[in-house]
């Protein structure tokens, strides 16, 4: 089976979720991890997962929403983790693309959620954008809190950064961006990623792969991304499918 390890089913796709899940199944995408970005999307994701057997959940507060994070939200997240479908904390991290004004708050909230994941025995899903230096500094400094590992989602860093996060034990997830015509350097990074650390994701509804760019992305598009990885790494697709499934099982226990 194929697995979408990072999908946002809470918003645009929510209005036609039966169809989206059905499309995924028809394309052999049997498991989907629904990633959250604030408290309300975390509740939403858990609700969706109770309705659809193959849907699992990552809950957490994205750096763009870091200002809302407080003790009360953390307690609510902790309570939500009692649900067996919650299998990770994410997406969390640093994003300086839209604002650099609240770097300290972003860092604090990132660190708090790294510690939360450790307390709850869960892996983390890391989002980093225009902030790789500070992200690396934090994951290196707090590496004792990653007993249950973590994933850099939608990875687009350099080979040098890749090597550092691989050494720290992280998994690396790739999405539709690896199919874009201007993504040669990213494809080199995919090539350099050890196969036992690879994961696939859509990050839907964003980032539809070629040749579907401009359409609403869905978990059903995972085989297109896997096919691209199979070409880049020169691994036969059926073999890669098994490896990706095994990797997902190891990090997310699903």
Give the residues lining the site for Zn ion (CB under 5 A): 203
Q: From CA 185, how far away is CA 124, in angstroms rounded?
A: 26
Residue, CB closest to Zn ion: 203
Q: How far is the CB of 71 from Zn ion (least distance, A)?
A: 25
Contact 111, 159 (CB under 8 A): no
Contact 34, 48 (CB under 8 A): yes
Kindly tell me which of 203 and 241 has the beta carbon lying closer to Zn ion. Answer: 203
Q: How far is the CB of 31 from Zn ion (least distance, A)?
A: 17
Return the SS3 of 32: strand
Kindly tell me which of 4 and 203 has the beta carbon lying closer to Zn ion. Answer: 203
Q: How far is the CB of 90 from Zn ion (least distance, A)?
A: 8
Q: How far is the CB of 237 from Zn ion (least distance, A)?
A: 25
Kindly tell me which of 58 and 230 has the beta carbon lying closer to Zn ion. Answer: 58
Kindly tell me which of 118 and 203 has the beta carbon lying closer to Zn ion. Answer: 203
Q: From CA 46, how far away is CA 28, in angstroms rounded?
A: 23
Q: Output the six-digit token pair for 130.
A: 């225009």
Kindly tell me which of 56 and 230 has the beta carbon lying closer to Zn ion. Answer: 56
Q: How far is the CB of 99 from Zn ion (least distance, A)?
A: 18
- Cα separations in angstroms, 70 against 38, 108, 111, 175, 248: 12, 11, 13, 31, 31
Q: From CA 160, how far away is CA 175, in angstroms rounded?
A: 20
Kindly tell me which of 150 and 230 has the beta carbon lying closer to Zn ion. Answer: 150
Q: How far is the CB of 6 from Zn ion (least distance, A)?
A: 6
């Amino acid at each position: 089976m194929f697995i979408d390890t990072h999908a946002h089913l809470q918003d645009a796709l929510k209005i036609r979720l039966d169809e989206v899940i059905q499309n995924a199944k028809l394309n052999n995408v049997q498991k989907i991890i629904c990633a959250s970005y604030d408290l309300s999307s975390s509740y939403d994701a858990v609700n969706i997962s109770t309705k659809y057997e193959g849907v699992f959940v990552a809950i957490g507060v994205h750096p763009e929403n870091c200002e809302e994070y407080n003790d009360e939200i953390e307690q609510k997240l902790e309570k939500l983790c009692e649900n067996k479908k919650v299998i990770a904390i994410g997406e969390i991290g640093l994003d300086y693309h839209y604002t650099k004004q609240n770097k300290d708050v972003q860092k604090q909230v990132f660190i708090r959620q790294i510690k939360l994941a450790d307390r709850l025995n869960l892996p983390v899903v890391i989002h980093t954008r225009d902030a790789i230096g500070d992200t690396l500094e934090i994951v290196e400094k707090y590496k004792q809190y990653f007993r249950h590992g973590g994933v850099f989602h939608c990875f687009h860093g350099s080979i040098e950064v890749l090597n550092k996060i691989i050494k720290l034990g992280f998994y690396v997830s790739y999405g539709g961006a690896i199919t874009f015509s201007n993504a040669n350097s990213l494809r080199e990074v995919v090539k350099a990623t050890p196969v036992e650390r690879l994961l696939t994701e859509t990050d839907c509804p964003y980032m539809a792969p070629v040749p579907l760019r401009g359409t609403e992305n869905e978990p059903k598009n995972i085989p297109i991304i896997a096919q691209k990885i199979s070409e880049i790494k020169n691994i036969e697709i059926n073999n890669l499918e098994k490896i990706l499934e095994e990797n997902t099982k190891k990090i997310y226990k699903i």
